[in-house]
Amino acid sequence: MAKFFNSVLCFLLIISVALAINQVNAQSRCTEILNPNGCVLYDCKKECFQKRNGNGLCSSAGLGQYVCTCVYNCSLDELNSHN
């Protein structure tokens, strides 16, 4: 009886891991520059959240310049269409 229970438990564990892997692979992280002319962190975060439900960051563009970059979850189809 214990062997049967262990077998069923292992089977259910394998199925749940396989389902979790499919969900993880279904999404990826995308980035979009919202403002290439400068960055005010509060405004960047607000715009990114409203536009993409993401997290806005001030990223360095070199020589002390910063751009507003939005990092958000996207599907693999959307990620491929950006390339």
Q: What is the pLDDT of residues 21-71, one digit of tens each?
A: 555 555 789 999 999 999 999 999 999 999 999 999 999 988 889 999 999
| pLDDT the model gives residue 64 | 86
Could you tell me whether strands 65-75 and 55-62 are parallel, antiparallel, or unpaired per DSSP bridges? antiparallel
Give first-to-last CA distance, the chain, whole Å. Answer: 54
pLDDT tops 50 at residue 13: no
68 phi and psi angles, rounded to 5 deg? -85, 115
For the question of whether the overall pTM of this predicted structure is more than 0.85, the answer is: no
